[in-house]
Amino acid sequence: MIAAALHTTTRTPTGLRTANPALALLLLRSALGLMYLAHAGLKLFVFTLPGTAQFFAGVGLPGVLAYAVFAAEAVGGALLLAGVWPRQVALALLPVLLGAAWVHVPNGWVFNAPGGGWEYPAFLAAASVVLWLAGDGAFALRRSERFTWSPQ
């Protein structure tokens, strides 16, 4: 079964072959999950949660929101890695990424600008929307099919 999942091809409506969209989505889901866990770890171990709350307050957000964002990143990242309703998790975490992009807008576009630019969280927001639209990926523990939205 695993070998079959790793070696399937799909023909798109235009006739092109894709190597394996389920594995591509697994990679996207895993990358997003690791990114969320890494950022939760930064807030906890590097900046500390009180320091993160102070930063949030400094940019005009309620300081207590830092704790909610930390929890969302930690839990959401773990759920994405495990493949537990990944489409819904990606969509639910979208406000975190849009908030991060909003905070970094004054710093400019490029990520290596002082204070970080807004293109990285904007790209991750787009990647989250892609995961939400495209599906769970391979090896998801709790699939989202019964939650699938169809415009028909």
pTM of the model: 0.82
Q: Cα–Cα distances in Å, from 138 out to 6, 18, 62, 92, 146?
A: 9, 15, 38, 20, 16
- Confirm whether 125 is domain-assigned: yes
Report the C-alpha gap between 76 and 44 in whole angstroms. Answer: 15
Tell me which residue range forms the domain holding 142: 22-146
**Region 117-129: what's the mean pLDDT?**
95
Bridge partners (DSSP) listed for residue 17 = 11
> To the nearest whole percent, how much of the chain has pLDDT over 70?
83
18: left (phi over 0), alpha (psi -120 to 50) or beta: beta
- The pLDDT-based confidence of 13 (bands split at 50, 70, 90) is low
- The pLDDT-based confidence of 1 (bands split at 50, 70, 90) is very low
- Confirm whether 11 is domain-assigned: no
Task: Look at the chain and report how many structural domains it folds into.
Answer: 1
